[in-house]
């Protein structure tokens, strides 16, 4: 299982310890809980200086989910693992909704007013809010984990797909493309683009083969724009036929495939857009950074026969990955970005209408609590733990239950994130 972070009396990170050891230190009152997520303890007594083994934080940035792993390069032990879910898509939806409301107000029985969307200036490193949130989330957690663990280096997946390498193997040498890594960049790209489904029958969860839309026998090339995925049955039935001939009686399927060929990878584009911004911000921390590609990550994970997971991908990023990774009993912390609330003071009724229906209070806190706090409530009917939503009256919501604040004790302050382990709100056993 993941280890527990330890700080000394000066809040400097020490070597992470086994949860059993942390439980003993807490029961003997030699340590206290410093932070609940990630679970961190702080020592109360000054001990002898220990030999601290440096750790490496490894990142697998994604459009929707980023994998995080802290690995001991020498022993191959995974000390901590997490999966960070971003809210970039929600931010874009909120901005689209706000824009629609604004334009509706400007047109609704009023004089004409010229649009003002061309009078804004941005600095050179500006990113759209939906992309900026992804970079900021990763940056926040790298800085946070660096305060709780002795991090000495970083590894990140800088390129999702090495497009130049797929088109021209001579860029980094023929051995790279024709050696042990042959096909991993191309195959990972196709799996992402075709949603891990057969392009012809849409079956998934089966073994897929790389297939040429225009077959080689008819002059087709190996360029990725001419490649798709197919199950063995469809690939055998198609043979050396052109896709247009093979799907002559299924024009809708042919049209869908040709449209998908030209369709850009939305999520991959978001990762490619933010990769260098994230790299520059992580580089500013002063820690050495190792970069790798998605194909190399999959090669490392497949060679170790590890299942597909974001945190396992993160643990296999880069050439520094140990030959053996100890991942047994590791349960990743599931982190979901929720934001710090919104500044909208007037709630509207629906996206189609946008008329005001409710006005919010100007204060985010009430009786010392705020929405997003994780609390423990001991009531006459039982004990409840969870994330609260405040009401400006003495009755807060935990899930679907109303709880009076007098029964509650805060375990973790709202920090813009929600925490879960296997679908259950993560709470330490001693709380």
Tens of pLDDT, residue by residue over 239-257, are 888 888 898 888 888 888 8
Give pLDDT tens digits for 294-347: 888 988 998 999 998 999 999 999 999 999 999 988 999 999 999 888 777 777
Task: Considering the chain, tell me which residue range(s) the CATH 3.30.420.40 domain(s) occupy.
Answer: 53-103+127-193+259-339+419-431
Q: Higher pLDDT residue, 424 or 328?
A: 328
**Residue in the structure block whose two tokens are 């689209």:** 96
Q: What percentage of the chain has pLDDT greater than the value 70?
A: 88
What does pTM read for this prediction? 0.76
The reported pLDDT for the residue numbered 260 is: 83
Looking at every residue in the chain, the average pLDDT score rounds to: 84
- Count other Cβ atoms within 10 Å, centred on residue 47: 10
CA neighbor of 127 nearest in space, from 280, 292, 263: 280
CATH of domain 53-103+127-193+259-339+419-431: 3.30.420.40
Mean pLDDT score, 371-377? 90
CA neighbor of 39 nearest in space, from 62, 51, 22: 22
In which band, very low, low, confident or very high, does the pLDDT at 350 lie, cut at 50, 70 and 90?
low
The reported pLDDT for the residue numbered 8 is: 93
In which band, very low, low, confident or very high, does the pLDDT at 31 lie, cut at 50, 70 and 90?
very high
How far, in Å, CA of 415 to CA of 418, rounded? 8
Mean pLDDT score, 195-215? 89
Task: Considering the chain, tell me which residue range(s) the CATH 2.30.30 domain(s) occupy.
Answer: 349-415
How far, in Å, CA of 62 to CA of 269, rounded? 10
CATH topology classification for 349-415: SH3 type barrels. (2.30.30)
């Amino acid at each position: 299982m993941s280890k527990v972070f330890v700080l000394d009396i000066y809040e400097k990170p020490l070597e992470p310890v086994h949860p059993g050891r942390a439980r003993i230190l807490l029961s003997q009152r030699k340590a206290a809980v410093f932070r609940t997520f990630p679970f961190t303890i702080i020592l109360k007594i000054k001990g002898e200086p220990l030999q601290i083994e440096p750790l490496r934080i490894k990142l697998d940035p994604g459009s929707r989910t980023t994998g995080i792993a802290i690995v001991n390069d020498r022993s191959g032990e995974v000390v901590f693992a997490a999966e960070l879910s971003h809210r970039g898509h929600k931010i874009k939806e909120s901005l689209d909704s706000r824009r629609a409301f604004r334009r509706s107000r400007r047109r609704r029985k009023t004089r004409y007013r010229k649009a003002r969307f061309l009078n804004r200036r941005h600095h050179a490193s500006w990113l759209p809010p939906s992309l900026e949130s992804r970079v900021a989330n990763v940056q926040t957690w790298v800085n946070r984990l660096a305060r709780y663990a002795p991090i000495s280096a970083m590894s990140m997946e800088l390129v999702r797909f090495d497009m130049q390498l797929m088109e021209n193997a001579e860029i980094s040498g023929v051995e790279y493309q024709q050696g042990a890594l042959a096909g991993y960049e191309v195959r990972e790209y196709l799996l992402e683009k075709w949603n891990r489904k057969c392009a012809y029958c849409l079956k998934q969860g089966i073994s897929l083969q790389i297939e040429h839309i225009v077959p080689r026998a008819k002059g087709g090339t190996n360029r990725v724009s001419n490649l798709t995925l197919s199950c063995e049955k469809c690939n055998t039935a198609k043979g050396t036929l052109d896709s247009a001939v093979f799907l002559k009686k299924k024009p809708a399927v042919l049209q869908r495939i040709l449209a998908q060929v030209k369709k850009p990878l939305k999520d991959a584009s978001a990762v490619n857009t933010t990769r260098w911004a994230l790299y520059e911000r992580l580089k500013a921390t002063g820690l050495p950074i190792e970069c790798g590609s998605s194909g190399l990550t999959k090669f490392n994970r497949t060679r170790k026969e590890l299942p597909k997971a974001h945190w396992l991908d993160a643990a296999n990023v880069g050439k520094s990955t140990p030959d053996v990774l100890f991942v047994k009993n590791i349960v990743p912390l599931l982190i979901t970005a929720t934001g710090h609330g919104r500044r909208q003071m007037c709630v509207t009724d629906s996206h189609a209408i946008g008329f005001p229906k409710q006005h919010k209070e100007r204060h985010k806190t009430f009786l010392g609590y705020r929405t997003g706090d994780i609390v423990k409530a001991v009531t006459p009917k039982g004990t409840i733990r969870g994330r609260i939503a405040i009401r400006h009256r003495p009755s807060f919501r935990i899930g679907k239950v109303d709880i009076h604040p007098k029964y509650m004790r805060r375990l973790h302050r709202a920090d813009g994130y929600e925490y879960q382990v296997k679908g259950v709100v993560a709470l330490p056993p001693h709380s």
